[in-house]
Structure 1
Amino acid sequence: MSVRLRLPAALLAATIAGAGFAALPAAATVSRGVTIPDFYTPPATLPAANGTLIRTEPLPLALSLPGLGSRLPGTATRIMYKSTDAGGGAVAVTGAYVEPAARWHGPGARPLVVLAPGTMGQGDQCSTSLALQKGLIIGTEDNQTTLSIGYEVLAMYRLLAKGIAVVQTDYAGLGATDRLHTYVNRLDEGHAVLDAARAAKALPDTSLTAQSVVGLYGYSQGGGAVASAAELQPSYAPDVRLKATYSGAPPANLAEVTAAIDGTELVGALGWAVNGFAQTEPGLRPLLDKYLSARGHDALRNLSTMCVGDALFGYAYQRSSAWTTTGQSLSQIIAAEPALKSFIGEQRIGTRKPAGVVRVATGVMDNLVPHAQARTMAADWCRRGGNVVYAPILLPNAISPLLNHFGPLLTDQGTAVDWLTNRLAGLPAISTCGILPIQP
């Protein structure tokens, strides 16, 4: 039997009861029947500087067409680069850079956009860079199945068609096989985004130059990641020439998101968050042992190798109260436990002025990643002197929280890409902070 190994094994075993991961021979990492390429196994020693390239290789794109002189939409390179996790430790992060076939028609050097993916899952097979290669990932092993779709390709190809170079991050532990993905961790994700820009600039034989400005693009989990990066850039990566950020439906206040997502189609994301929190802060593990029932431990263990499709099929509409010994929901436990409440509070986005101009888009009917907490982030940034363009997306209530969340992703994507392109071309944006109080 082949079972994916997550390291450090002792940490995960202590976090998720009965995980039962078995050691595998080198270069044999398997997750739910999907073999993870050797490329994704980090070396034992990492370089010192953030953004340093660890390794690269050509990445064949699943969706690629012949063009005049080069393939469309461009030429892809799989990358692994060094970043820093929330605890200050070195971490290897994977991703992909795509050199566009299209020309950049704006002024100056070709710009770069870091694309931070939306929720993909927690299994290594769910990584966006692997999805760019395979398109659709399907696997099965020991009655465990997996399904992952590379849905971020649409946003990426829209940017590439405008002549913008794109680098995409997989985040810490999503792809790289040495640790569990720290889902919605503010520092891990913000660092991974900024270091992806550094890594792309370090690649040889690209059209990027020292003068290439940088934009950030992300929706949902990605919206939170780029929002965090915009806050962290002045202190963590002042060398990254951040010009503009599009942050769609950001989970800025995890306490509110945790309460909203419980019992919906995507309740599995709660398991990904808890798994990641316990990896970042081992001191939280005794609380998991205190509150999680056997069913809860099983759910967290199972979710740790799942992608979005798997979680939708396996856990949709369940309530986290069914995973606890007390019958309390995870949001109730967070509110009752000071250590958890403090940890979740540290993940809040909106407490620092962001760099550059930021467009915050949120669906007014979004009740999965609640509209109100995203709007609050924009308002908090305005109060701190940020250059904010707040864009409430008005769509009818689709009843389904998942559709209320993803509807704005599709309807606003073209506008978001055009807005970001204009900012990278040097066109100014007018802040809407003055009218935000009268906007929904």
Structure 2
Amino acid sequence: MKRQNRRWVRAGHVGAALILATATVVAGVATREAAAEPMSSFYTPPDRIPQEPGAIIKTAPMSLFVTPPTEQGWPGRAQHVMYTSRLQDGSAVAVSGTYLEPTGPWRGAGSRPTVVIGPGTSGQADRCAMSVAFSTGVSVSAEPLGLSANQELPSSTVWSGLGARVLVTDYVGLGIPGIHTYANRFESGHAILDGVRAANNLAGVGPETPVVLWGYSQGGGATAAAAEMQPTYAPELNLKGTWAGGPVADLAAILEKIDGALIGGAIGYAVNGMLARYPELQRAVDQVTSPAGRAMLETLSDSCIADVITHHPYLKTTSLTKDGRSLSAHLAELPEAAPVLEQLRIGNSTPATPVLITSGRNDDTVPYGQARRLAEDWCGKGATVTFRTNDLPPILPGTTIPNHFGPELIDGFGPDNAFTYLLDRLADKPVSGCSLD
């Protein structure tokens, strides 16, 4: 049975699950007012939280309206979860997310694994948290008018259908009060690894439980950060493998690449996150941004990525500065910025377990070069890395969807996909050294 199910993944039925999941959303699932839920008492942490990373603060049941059933019925029981993680300075913080406990048997090799998913870019407002849209697929807010979608419906559906326990983190500051520190490698990596601990605590299983990490774009950066900090931050976890697809690894390269692209406003998420953890940057950024630029950064801090696309598409940071030069050009020259950008770059430590990195050569949002550099940095440190280049030709450059999300669908759900790679790691199939395709 397990061998047949592995062929099911290899033969492309994962793609069929993706189509079914997407069709379920498009076919008219219920939407809800997002403003009521994230501001509800669930997303408000208690005055005191447990200090142990991965400790469960509270849970609440969640209905699943959009997950397609498997042969055994609905693939999992969902819960909102709030757990303890760590900020960059080591202090405890509450993080929310979604936990899916499978109802069917594990269809892969070995014992049932824990899978933690790092979502792609959803925004910086609390209403953008993935758990807000998880139940219905899409959430709509009235004030301010906005939209957020559960981008991780396909991946969580497939993993749940395979019988894995799944936790999808919201990251630090999404849903929970406080700024979302977008692409902060410390806090995103902590949220992923502490999400593993939280999922294992909810399931009542120990640290020997096999673990894999799944992420693309912002999520790819988060899982990459988690993979390289796991040996020191969470050495007890039995991490078997990681997919870091299209990883946000080097903010300096990414900010320059997406300036003026469809989701150029995401630059605001990165800048706002850096200012929250590196206050010494505030004065320098204030000196180069115009009043309109500072107002736009504030607006973006309360937006979702769909809002950026509909309200601020193709945003150029030349419109945010006093002299009309790009914000990335200024950051390259600001002495306060260089050490921050270097400290946040992923690749300074070494993963102890295998990692698959994929990147589109023509990705117009998360540049190929910085993803390949991550692979090369890790290879130089002796890590086990498989790097795969996606050669999808450029389609309407600057529009993000075909050139950034196209490789995600191919590498994540197409032939010889990330599921296959991680299932092989869970089966303890040997892999070693570096493969730079």
CA distance in 1, matches of 2:341, 2:157: 35
- In the alignment, structure 1 residue 379 sits paired with structure 2 residue 382: no
Stretch moving more, 415-424 or 384-393? 415-424
- Shift in Å, 1:134: 2.7
Q: Deviations over 1:380-420 (max 9, x none)?
A: 11110000011111111113330211110111112111211
Residue 159 of structure 1 corresponds to: 159
Q: Deviations over 1:288-344 (max 9, x none)?
A: 321221211121111111111100112211210110112221111111111111111
CA distance in 2, matches of 1:153, 1:31: 17
Stretch moving more, 326-335 or 244-253? 326-335
CA distance in 1, matches of 2:258, 2:419: 27
Residue segments in structure 1 that go unaligned for 5+ positions in a row: 1-29
Residue 22 of structure 2 corresponds to: none
CA distance in 2, matches of 1:321, 1:309: 22
- In the alignment, structure 1 residue 353 sits paired with structure 2 residue 356: no
- Shift in Å, 1:86: 0.9
- How many residue pairs align between the two structures? 400
Pick one of 122, 125, 128 that aligns with 1:123.
125
CA distance in 1, matches of 2:187, 2:207: 25
CA distance in 2, matches of 1:248, 1:66: 27
CA distance in 1, matches of 2:426, 2:219: 19
Contact 1:122–1:174 under 8 Å retained in 2: yes
Contact 1:131–1:148 under 8 Å retained in 2: yes
CA distance in 2, matches of 1:173, 1:226: 17
Residue segments in structure 2 that go unaligned for 5+ positions in a row: 1-32
Residue 409 of structure 2 corresponds to: 410
Residue 188 of structure 1 corresponds to: 187
CA distance in 2, matches of 1:428, 1:207: 29
Residue 137 of structure 2 corresponds to: 135
CA distance in 2, matches of 1:64, 1:379: 38
- Shift in Å, 1:49: 1.0
- Shift in Å, 1:65: 5.3
- Shift in Å, 1:207: 7.2
Cα 1:32–1:301 change in 2 (3 A) is farther
**Structure 2 length as normaliser, TM-score?**
0.88
Pick one of 288, 296, 299 that aligns with 1:299.
296
Q: Secondary structure at the match of 2:135?
A: helix
Stretch moving more, 105-114 or 45-54? 105-114
Q: Deviations over 1:120-171 (max 9, x none)?
A: 0011111111111231111122xx3111111211011111121111111100
Contact 2:213–2:241 under 8 Å retained in 1: yes
Tell me which amino acid in the other structure corresponds to 1:429: V
- Shift in Å, 1:432: 3.8
Residue 20 of structure 1 corresponds to: none
- Over the aligned positions, Cα root-mean-square deviation in angstroms equals 1.8
Identical residues among aligned pairs (%) = 40
- In the alignment, structure 1 residue 325 sits paired with structure 2 residue 328: no
Alignment map for 1:201-280 (pairs within 5 Å): 201-203=200-202, 206=203, 208-280=205-277
CA distance in 2, matches of 1:66, 1:262: 41
Cα 1:164–1:391 change in 2 (3 A) is same
CA distance in 2, matches of 1:34, 1:96: 14
Stretch moving more, 324-333 or 166-175? 324-333
**Structure 1 length as normaliser, TM-score?**
0.87
Residue 50 of structure 2 corresponds to: 47
Pick one of 88, 92, 95 that aligns with 2:94.
92
Q: Secondary structure at the match of 2:351?
A: coil
Cα 1:219–1:285 change in 2 (3 A) is same
Contact 1:359–1:388 under 8 Å retained in 2: yes
CA distance in 2, matches of 1:417, 1:253: 25
CA distance in 2, matches of 1:306, 1:119: 11
CA distance in 2, matches of 1:380, 1:430: 16
- Shift in Å, 1:282: 1.7
CA distance in 2, matches of 1:295, 1:269: 17
Tell me which amino acid in the other structure corresponds to 2:278: E
CA distance in 2, matches of 1:397, 1:254: 22
Cα 1:149–1:317 change in 2 (3 A) is same
Contact 1:361–1:390 under 8 Å retained in 2: yes
Contact 2:38–2:175 under 8 Å retained in 1: no
CA distance in 1, matches of 2:35, 2:113: 38
Cα 1:287–1:32 change in 2 (3 A) is farther
